[in-house]
Amino acid sequence: MTTLQETIRPQAKSGEWKAIVVLILLIPVLWSPPFLFRIFLFQPFNIPSGSMTPTLVVGDYVFAAKYAYGYGRYSFPFAPSWISGRFRAAEPEYGDVVVFRTPKNTSVDYVKRVVGLPGDRIQMRQGQLILNDRPATRVALKAVAAGSTCGVDDGAKARRWRETLPNGASYVTLDCVDNGYYDNTDAYTVPPGHFFVLGDNRDNSTDSRLMSTFGFVPMDNLVGRVTRIFWSLDEEGEPHMERLGKVW
Tell me which H or E stretch contains 2: helix 2-30
Q: Which value, in Å, is the radius of gyration of the alpha carbons in the chain?
A: 22
Exposed / middle / buried, residue 175 (Cβ in 10 Å: 0-12, 13-18, 19+): buried
From CA 44, how far away is CA 231, in angstroms rounded? 10
107 in catalytic set: no
Q: Which residues contact 21 (CB under 8 A, 6 or more apart)?
A: none
Q: Which residues contact 56 (CB under 8 A, 6 or more apart)?
A: 47, 62, 97, 111, 200, 226, 229, 247
51 in catalytic set: yes
Which candidate in 13, 18, 32, 51 is catalytic?
Answer: 51
Which candidate in 75, 112, 205, 232 is catalytic?
Answer: 112
The residues that are catalytic are: 51, 112
